[in-house]
Structure 1
């Protein structure tokens, strides 16, 4: 099939949605399809259309559905679609969901957070990541003798990106924890916050936006990863951590619980730096707790392999074609 995928993220962007679009292109081409990734759509012909973002891609979705009413449409639901846009912009977001022949959700709890009546169109897809064999060898710690904690993701409100830094302020003086934050500040406000935090907090280091190799090196050198988001559709960085065997301390939001499972031991209440500080301290000082987290992410690693992600994409295509044929 000839497929067109639309994403709001530009070709040079390191945003997660661009990475997802390019990864899906590679996986689908491996399965024998031809895939074009675009940021604008004007009715060009294709055998099926895949849209990342229900709300941000609504104009392209409307254009495709009106131009090609008999062709299959797949819409991938992001965290902002599920936890913000369907309430802030309900007409556009729900329009995209309603005209889709298949919906892709990125964690186990998506069905609970969708409007009623859409579950029959839902395919759960776990984003994949490369395995530990692709990781670089450990290097000397960025700060010698430290217990490295990494935070990976652009600095924006949804990520609550400085929560680990605030938690690090509450640690006992003897703690060796150092927090290394990798990500681009999407607004000046976040850049100022990160720069100010570095001047006031000796445990915090903002590294800016890193390339793929440097990000993997950071993960290799870290003992724990923190994902403190207030909303997530199913973050690929969680997949990467599980595949790397890197323990995760995660905010207890559906997007994290839906990937790590309800029985995962490393959750803290969203926005609660005191609870996160306690988890950080326990990770540093209690080898059994850290081993438990490592064992749990290790057991989950097999869920995030490329072959399974490709199979889920094929499942979504099959469901979309099936639903499309029923509409005719």
Structure 2
């Protein structure tokens, strides 16, 4: 008897190399220890012979057609919807297809617990939290460096608010600070802003899109990681920074609080470039403050272990398949 078949729908492809694709790729790897796994940008695909035993969909609005097709074709088979930042903090309030996807999924997965408050109350019973994970990388030595890099990782799109990071480059006063942005240009106006900022301020550099492994190496050599987003479901780059011993400076939004905790000392108001610049200067000038940030990040490390993420995911999938099997045999 062959293992059950899990199908993952990820609107983001490997070429996109964004957080959603990293989630889909990692979950496929975890699930293949026990199941047969397919991954594609939609379901069904042409030429498909038989439906999977369970569908996992990333992104309520963008995966809504696949989830609806699966619910219509396989009403007795379970599905999981992984909610992204734009789902939680925008689409499920206004988009009918995203709202339908919430209702159709057998189970909902959030990437951090603060997102539970945003869900409609009747749906919370079928929701659970699975923290994402990353391999631990040994931090690079930072002593006696000419530059202390503050890195932002994220494609140039408005939800990530790269303009706040760019504007901070004009306001930071620490002479060794260098602001490095890694990410592809998804919006032409932001690409022009990045080029103009790099031309005007020597401390700002935009490196464009880099492969995931190269980005992680660049991150672990950084002094700080900045995330300026207006909305996040549970940013994988926060986990990668924490797992590399790099303290985080984060916009004060629900998704970031769910990752770092309410008492974290490294928040700045979303969109406030001056506040971000002050935090950068303080972290570089005050060793005690920098160590406090690092200690608070280190305390979150156990939440982000691959073993914990895999165990929680496998338990959820096992339980859904078991319940579906019981229902079919009654």
TM-score of the aligned structures, taking structure 1 as reference length: 0.93
Q: Return the offset for 1:285.
A: 0.1
Alignment match, 2:304: 304
- Distance in structure 2 (CA, Å) of the matches to 1:161 and 1:197: 11
Alignment match, 1:181: 181
Task: Select the structure with the greater relative contact order (CA < 8 A; seq sep ≥ 6).
Answer: 1
| Higher alpha-carbon deviation: 286-295 or 272-281 | 272-281
Q: Deviations over 1:88-146 (max 9, x none)?
A: 31x2111111111110000111110112211111110111101024x7x55999xx612
Q: Return the offset for 1:322.
A: 6.4
Task: Indicate if the aligned counterparts of 1:41 and 1:63 stay in contact, CA closer than 8 A.
Answer: yes
| Higher alpha-carbon deviation: 39-48 or 288-297 | 39-48
2:110 matches 1:109: no
- Distance in structure 1 (CA, Å) of the matches to 2:142 and 2:112: 33
Q: Return the offset for 1:230.
A: 0.3
Q: Return the offset for 1:224.
A: 0.5
Task: Indicate if the aligned counterparts of 2:220 and 2:241 stay in contact, CA closer than 8 A.
Answer: no
Alignment match, 2:244: 244
Give unmatched runs, 5+ long, in structure 1.
none
- Distance in structure 1 (CA, Å) of the matches to 2:318 and 2:35: 13
Q: Deviations over 1:9-56 (max 9, x none)?
A: 1243212111111110001112x1111001121274111110001110
- Distance in structure 2 (CA, Å) of the matches to 1:139 and 1:37: 40
- Distance in structure 2 (CA, Å) of the matches to 1:264 and 1:196: 33
- Distance in structure 1 (CA, Å) of the matches to 2:106 and 2:311: 18
- Please give the secondary structure, in 1, of the residue aligned with 2:233: coil
Alignment match, 2:255: 255
Q: Return the offset for 1:212.
A: 2.2
- Distance in structure 1 (CA, Å) of the matches to 2:319 and 2:125: 10
- 1:16-35 equivalences under 5 Å are 16-30=19-33, 32-35=34-37
2:65 matches 1:65: no
Give unmatched runs, 5+ long, in structure 2.
none
- Distance in structure 1 (CA, Å) of the matches to 2:323 and 2:167: 48
Alignment match, 1:39: 41
Task: Indicate if the aligned counterparts of 1:160 and 1:228 stay in contact, CA closer than 8 A.
Answer: yes
Q: Deviations over 1:51-70 (max 9, x none)?
A: 00111000000000000000
- Distance in structure 2 (CA, Å) of the matches to 1:319 and 1:107: 21
- Distance in structure 1 (CA, Å) of the matches to 2:305 and 2:142: 26
TM-score of the aligned structures, taking structure 2 as reference length: 0.92
Task: Indicate if the aligned counterparts of 2:229 and 2:270 stay in contact, CA closer than 8 A.
Answer: yes
Distance 1:192 1:72, change over 3 A: same
Alignment match, 2:200: 200
Distance 1:140 1:162, change over 3 A: farther
2:10 matches 1:4: no
2:52 matches 1:52: no
Task: Indicate if the aligned counterparts of 2:142 and 2:223 stay in contact, CA closer than 8 A.
Answer: no
- Please give the secondary structure, in 2, of the residue aligned with 1:109: helix
Distance 1:323 1:233, change over 3 A: farther
- Distance in structure 1 (CA, Å) of the matches to 2:60 and 2:42: 14
- Distance in structure 1 (CA, Å) of the matches to 2:117 and 2:301: 24
Alignment match, 1:124: 129
- Please give the secondary structure, in 1, of the residue aligned with 2:243: helix
- Please give the secondary structure, in 2, of the residue aligned with 1:205: strand
